[in-house]
Structure 1
Amino acid sequence: MSIELKILDFIQTLHTPVLDKIMVGITRLGDAGIIWIILTAIFLVIPKTRRTGGVMLAALVVQTILCNVILKNLFARTRPYDVNTTVQLLVPKLHDFSFPSGHTSASFTTVSALYFAKNKAWKPALVLACLIAVSRLYLYVHYPTDVLGGILLGILSGYIGYKIMEKLRNR
């Protein structure tokens, strides 16, 4: 058995009914990037934060293309619950590939965009992003390297989004 499955199996020993509900709730915040899309929309509507919202929007577009269109299909990694079929899932099975974690990459894209835009909201966003990343492991839907790949992709996407908006602003 791979080290990644051993890590996931260890995390399974930490399950409690209360923690199960919390982790499902946390992961749902990241479904389709909804929490980050709502936050971006709010930032775009408020004149004082519109520039930051633009960075977030550009970064999330980059992340979506890189993660969901290119990387997931390029790597085509099977999800851990399809390898270890004995695990009882708390969420419905997903129909896309495992690497990189889309929930994690969208989360860290937003954190990075906020950070590069020098918006202090990156700190609470980082807490939520970390919780979402951990929830993906807890729920057995991603391998640890999927989450790590999502973090790295998110940081890169946040930086690219920031650079795109800087170029547009300097025109």
Structure 2
Amino acid sequence: MELQILDAIQTIRTPILDRLMCFITSLGSAGRVWILLAVILLIFPKLRKSGVIILAALVVDLILCNGILKNLVGRTRPFDVNTSVSILINKPRDFSFPSGHTAVSFAVVAALFFSGEKKLWKISLVAAVLIAFSRLYLYVHYPTDILGGIVVGILAGYIGYRVVDWFQTSILHRADQVQ
């Protein structure tokens, strides 16, 4: 059934969409756009905590998604199953589940949401959905890889938020008491 969904998406391919989806998917590669966002937020004192939460979420996501789950599940990519589809990007060499692009994107969305960034999380959500869809369009992930990436990302964002919150209230509070 998942291949049928991917094949249905292939019916909307156009040269313009091909270029657009390749660009959108590149935004999520290695979390570059999200790391850049975190660095930008770190520059501004009022947004610094959100930047730190994003960085913590990215670390948690890297451990969960790429360090544990991809290797544990070991799922073959759809283009290896249906070799008749032409792939528009360099073929990813790691496993398919969960989608790392999706997980990292939703980790940032969740981190921004939990940190209270009312506008930024919504803008990031749009970007995350587009990145997730691009992975289906490009035939490099199954729909369940995307769903798994969303779940892992939200979990990573929440854990990142909780770790920074715990650090701020526990460690820094103790340091203040010592002085």
Indicate the residue corresponding to 1:86 in structure 2.
84
Give 1:55's match in structure 2, choosing from 32, 53, 56. Answer: 53
CA distance in 1, matches of 2:107, 2:141: 18
Report the TM-score when normalising by structure 2.
0.93
Indicate the residue corresponding to 1:14 in structure 2.
12
Identity %: 60
Amino acid at match of 2:127: L
Report the TM-score when normalising by structure 1.
0.98
Q: Cα distance, 1:46 vs. partner?
A: 1.5
Indicate the residue corresponding to 2:163 in structure 1.
164
Indicate the residue corresponding to 2:138 in structure 1.
139
CA distance in 2, matches of 1:92, 1:118: 37
- Segments of structure 1 that go 5 or more residues without pairing to the other structure are none
Question: Alpha-carbon deviations, 1:41-83, whole Å to 9, x = none?
Answer: 1111211111111111111100000000100000000000000
- Segments of structure 2 that go 5 or more residues without pairing to the other structure are 171-179
Amino acid at match of 1:137: L
Q: How many residues align?
A: 169
Q: Cα distance, 1:169 vs. partner?
A: 0.8
Amino acid at match of 1:147: I
Question: Alpha-carbon deviations, 1:105-141, whole Å to 9, x = none?
Answer: 0000000000000002001000000000000000000
Q: Which has the larger radius of gyration?
A: 2
